[in-house]
Amino acid sequence: MKVLSVVGARPQFVKLAPIAHEFSRQDIEHIIVHTGQHYDPMLSDVFFHDLEIPAADEHLGVGSAGHGRQTGEMLALLDDVLVKHRPDWVLTYGDTNSTLAGALSAAKLHFPIAHLEAGLRSFNRRMPEEINRIVTDHVSDLCLAPTGTALTQLDSEGLGSVSVNVGDVMVDVLLRVRDSVLSNRVNPFPDLEPGTFFVSTLHRAENTDDRQRLEGIIDALASIECPVVLLAHPRLKTRASEYGIRLDRGNLRVESPLSYPDLIATVMASAGVITDSGGLQKEAFVLRIPCTTVRGETEWTETVETGWNTLATTAEAIVAAATRAHPPDTPLTPYGSGNAAARVRQALTNRRPDNRGT
């Protein structure tokens, strides 16, 4: 069996790692296509190195652009890549423009599509990620849901017959990295005492592309009465510079994005996470670190239902949520126990359709 993975952004590289390792163990031919959506080395190359992912077989080098141009350039290049490799499955990950382009190219050329992390919904059509995930699910031949909630949503949309709950592959790599951090006593910020600081990331357009909103969020972070380590995404730095918003003020400490092991070590040492990242919400929950999500909704509803995640959209709400009382412990493991990659491999093998590529 030949599987072609289409990835291009930091969360997708994390999800790719356990899949690549599982396929290698099972002698599955695996073609990795990197679209170049994330091209900063700290958001791309370092993940391949730290998570021991094989180098990409194809690198499209698309880079940054608006949604239409970026997706269109990926589509134009992916067509030739798919025809060249003729995979049995095209495996797409998450909800980025790379996800959408991979799915549309495969659908047009009649190659079977599997969507990893299928069935997630924010029910906010203003989010480009919501459009990407809905379209990808509905052109896929196999929807690989990460949770029971996602599987129920797919069934409600008429996709139950092509859907299976495999668990969340991010948990596979997270648990491995967590154990390594605990064994090696990794501490990226030795001058900060564990439990005395927050870690924050911001990158979504809804937060960074509105000057007033971004300024309010930065004001809130700067006013928290303990250090806040802001791991500044390139998009955040660019927008802040354009708007004349100073990031390094108050209790804010601006740092560059971290490698995945260093990120997990920092989260584990923190008092809490303040983010708009879907992946980091979930990672915080699995690590049992309180999270404040700077959005009005989340796809990872289980994190909110258990009390470990709180949604906040105003400066006052962000501060209140971040400094809330520690949530009660929970035994729930809605994202699986670390064997999702094996279940993905089994699902692809069991439901392998005839290659339909033109």
Which active-site residues does the annotation give? 203
Measured CA to CA, the distance from residue 144 to residue 350 in angstroms comes to 13
> DSSP states of 77-128 as a string?
HHHHHHHHH--SEEEEETTSHHHHHHHHHHHHHT--EEEETTT-----TTSH
Contact, 5 vs 102, CB < 8 A? no
Diameter over CA atoms, the chain: 60
Measured CA to CA, the distance from residue 136 to residue 97 in angstroms comes to 10
Burial class (CB in 10 A: 0-12, 13-18, 19+), 243: middle
Burial class (CB in 10 A: 0-12, 13-18, 19+), 71: buried
Identify the CA nearest to 112 among candidates 340, 341, 352, 346. Answer: 352
Residues, the chain: 358
